[in-house]
Amino acid sequence: MKSFTQIDGLVAPMDRANVDTDMIIPKNFLKSIKRSGFGKNLFDELRYMDEGLPDQDCSHRPLNPDFPLNFPRYQDAQVLLARENFGCGSSREHAPWALDDYGFRCVIAPSFADIFYNNSFKNGLLPLILPAEVVDQLFAEMYANEGYRLHVDLAAQTVTTPSGESFSFEIDEFRKHCMLNGLDDIGLTLQEADAIRAFEEKAKQTTPWVFGMIKA
């Protein structure tokens, strides 16, 4: 997994609450059997004026001129500033894959949907929670200042504005550790294989019907 230590990134807005996973990456693009290449279809129905198709060359599609990610000032943004309950809806990991593939490294919002939040950490995309009033302030500063950047430091758990104002954020210790070091979750869990086997042996006595029923 890609590690995340700190970034100094241009900030772009997604200024609405309850941004759902169908909005982030519509279902027609979920047919891919790969993990990459979803960036060109990020926010597809908001970003383009026409209906997108899988495997399509998007470079000639008509862009929605009112959608902020199409504005020149937000090109190459790495931080997405968003509102409450970002990522609600389905469990599709294609949502963080699309954000990551587009170039975002961090999404800042007052709250996230549980599954999206969890999926983001598996892909080196930092979902960062700040209080609603701080997010309001960041939106206002971003709109007022073209080229607005934020410095995100995961080890220090801080977000720093261009004026030097700093906000701290909370994050689970284990998630922070994996993210900072780009650790492979599966490899870590397999270090506990003995404990898993011991659990299984006990469970075979207490709930034997869980085992062996589904056979090829």
Partner 1 sequence: MAGKTLYDKLWEAHLVQNRDDGSALIYIDRHIVHEVTSPQAFEGLRLAGRPLWRADSILATPDHNVPTTLSERAKGVDGIEDSVSKIQVQTLDDNCDEFGVVEYKINDARQGIVHVIGPESGACLPGMTIVCGDSHTATNGALGALAHGIGTSEVEHVMATQCLVAKKMKNLLIKVDGTLGKGVSAKDVVLAIIAKIGTAGGTGFAMEFGGQVFRDMSMEGRMTVCNMAIEAGARAGMVAVDDKTIEYVKGRDFAPKGEQWDQAETYWRTLVSDDDAVFDKVVEINGSEILPQVSWGTSPEMVLPVNASVPEPQLESDPVKKSSIERALSYMGLQGGQAITDIKVDRVFIGSCTNSRIEDIRQAAEVAKGRKVADSVIQAMVVPGSGQVKAQAEAEGLDKILVEAGFEWREPGCSMCLAMNADKLGNGEHCASTSNRNFEGRQGYGGRTHLVSPAMAAAAAIAGHFVDVREF
Backbone angles phi, psi at 49, to 5 degrees: -90, -15
Helix (H) or strand (E) holding 6, with range, is strand 6-14
Nearest 5 degrees, angle CA 106-CA 112-CA 115?
100
Q: Which is nearer to partner 1, 165 or 204 (CB)?
A: 204
Q: Which is nearer to partner 1, 5 or 18 (CB)?
A: 18
* CB 16, min distance to partner 1, A: 7
Query: Which residues, 6 or more positions from 12, have their beta carbon under 8 angstroms from its beta carbon?
Result: 68, 69, 74, 77, 79, 80, 81
What is the sign, positive or negative, of the torsion defined by CA atoms of 21, 71, 6, 184?
positive
Q: Give the C-alpha separation, 110 to 76, whole Å.
A: 23
State how far the alpha carbon of 103 is from the alpha carbons of 81, 132, 196, in Å. Answer: 14, 25, 37
* CB 54, min distance to partner 1, A: 5
Q: Which is nearer to partner 1, 12 or 25 (CB)?
A: 25
* CB 182, min distance to partner 1, A: 13
Q: Which is nearer to partner 1, 54 or 147 (CB)?
A: 54
* CB 1, min distance to partner 1, A: 8
Residues that bind partner 1 (CB under 8 A): 16-18, 20, 22-23, 26-28, 30-35, 45, 51, 54-55, 83-85, 88-93, 96, 111, 113-115, 118-119, 122-123, 172-174, 177, 185-186, 189-190, 192-193, 195-196, 199-200, 203, 206-216
